[in-house]
Structure 1
């Protein structure tokens, strides 16, 4: 996969692939829990689905794994921030209202954009800035579902939601930074290791006092759905390699819900409410602007990754 051209619109190919994979995954991600397979076990299955693509791309790179301390630190940081954020999210949704938690988490690109702007010196043109603004405006609308009562237990859920948002925002920043001195195959391999390392915690969080569906529509169905998630994470690594984080982060986070909404509309006949329709319109405009932004490609990708597998 790393043999793809590092110039031109390679970043866009990988970013769009991520959007499609995560969009499809998002449309069906709730199926397994709805059929009695707990989300904590879904995490364990997801961690296992990371193994095949990690080994395949590493084999394509002739098993050249970056083993220097800096690469190991960055690779594991990317993996632990992503997987750790997911585990914190499992607990967060038991403490507060999901319709407020997810809009907060969806703003993680703000963290990525700020870090990339100030620490990496990334800039983009007027179209890119407008696209980023529209994407950030659209993100909270996707998960905002007004409900009577919030079921919140104190303010703990708010702090936890901020932690998840920070984890995923910083993860994207580390992913971009790591691509400057190590191969994408190595980054994803360490992401796989980190996911597996936290799987026992997710397993321990499972409430086995309730029935667990171990049939074909349980772990096997979850594996098929979560493989889309794993492949999307892989293509995201390469999107960050060839594109600017300041553009890739909002595009992937706004585009995926757009695809999910379209699938839901086609498959389930679900018509979004007016707020989500507005969010979808904003996301569509943002995606188009970010896709055509001429300054979105990382012009340093060739030099910084030269000699990498």
Structure 2
């Protein structure tokens, strides 16, 4: 195996970072134009269909239908989509600057499970990168202050989202060990579509909703970036270690978002977010440079 092939996971992971970084910088536009987040979820689920069809076609339209594959695929999808539903609930009851730092620590769960259950290990450089990435993640969304009027009603939902997304990333790696990536993404798409009625029921239709191109049209264009990024993340987990891919993608994406927001919208980061950017940059470089064991074995 050539070294370049052995590090294909890095290309996929960096593609996810870029796509999710742009998505993060633009994701709030739909709501700003009067299209509620619950309906954005429905649009996102629909945008999963094109990449799912493309990856299935590339895999010869083969869909793994054994019980184990169905379980893994639906579990990965429902944990991701279900976490998004719980996030809506949490954001309705607490401030985003408290909730997102909690959720951003989901790689801790992925790393722990991958270490103990999958037996994954990394070198010193990778270990330092993981620690720096985990330290950087909460800083991207942490905003000191607040009026103190919020209760702790958001805390348990936020922890549940963190658990869902951390477990999802672990299962995504475990699923890649036993079934094709195309089938994983197909089941993710199906599970996302299955929860559209839930998002619809959570929508406040008494408020004015923008049904024009700046509403669902803009949401579709932005959410397609998220959907394609989800596909490249699945492919990154295919050959990359979960305890490296998870912190790299979770730290790199907000780093890209922060830099794009600064370049496009002139949003100047706070001192905490600036520190997060520096830590994430160093962490991403260390994780990207971590030697690939499979390639190293081939050259011995």
TM-score interval, normalised by the smaller of the two chains: over 0.9
- Provide the rounded CA distance (Å) in 2 between the counterparts of 1:179 and 1:148: 42
**1:140-179 pair list within 5 angstroms:** 140-153=138-151, 155-179=152-176
296 and 46 in structure 1: CA distance in 2 versus 1, 3 angstrom threshold: farther
187 and 210 in structure 1: CA distance in 2 versus 1, 3 angstrom threshold: same
- Give 5+ residue unaligned stretches, structure 2: none
227 and 65 in structure 1: CA distance in 2 versus 1, 3 angstrom threshold: same
- Provide the rounded CA distance (Å) in 1 between the counterparts of 2:183 and 2:295: 20
**SS of match in other structure, 2:279:** helix
297 and 103 in structure 1: CA distance in 2 versus 1, 3 angstrom threshold: farther
- Provide the rounded CA distance (Å) in 2 between the counterparts of 1:267 and 1:229: 19
**1:1-309 pair list within 5 angstroms:** 7-153=5-151, 155-295=152-292
CA positional deviation for 1:276? 0.7
- Provide the rounded CA distance (Å) in 2 between the counterparts of 1:166 and 1:49: 25
CA positional deviation for 1:139? 0.1
- Provide the rounded CA distance (Å) in 1 between the counterparts of 2:49 and 2:294: 29
Q: How many residues align?
A: 296
Q: Once the two structures are superposed, what CA deviation does each residue of 1:247-290 show, in whole Å capped at 9, x if it has no partner?
A: 00000000001111111111111111111111100000000000
- Provide the rounded CA distance (Å) in 1 between the counterparts of 2:161 and 2:6: 33
CA positional deviation for 1:156? 2.6
Q: Is contact 2:6–2:292 with CA below 8 Å preserved after alignment?
A: no
- Provide the rounded CA distance (Å) in 2 between the counterparts of 1:297 and 1:206: 48
TM-score, with length taken from structure 1 = 0.93
- Provide the rounded CA distance (Å) in 1 between the counterparts of 2:273 and 2:293: 27
**Cα RMSD, aligned residues only:** 1.7
187 and 299 in structure 1: CA distance in 2 versus 1, 3 angstrom threshold: farther
Q: Is contact 1:7–1:242 with CA below 8 Å preserved after alignment?
A: no
CA positional deviation for 1:298? 9.3
Larger helix share, 1 or 2: 2
**SS of match in other structure, 2:6:** coil
- Provide the rounded CA distance (Å) in 1 between the counterparts of 2:175 and 2:293: 18
- Provide the rounded CA distance (Å) in 2 between the counterparts of 1:15 and 1:172: 13
TM-score, with length taken from structure 2 = 0.96
- Give 5+ residue unaligned stretches, structure 1: 301-309
CA positional deviation for 1:6? 8.8
Q: Is contact 1:14–1:236 with CA below 8 Å preserved after alignment?
A: yes
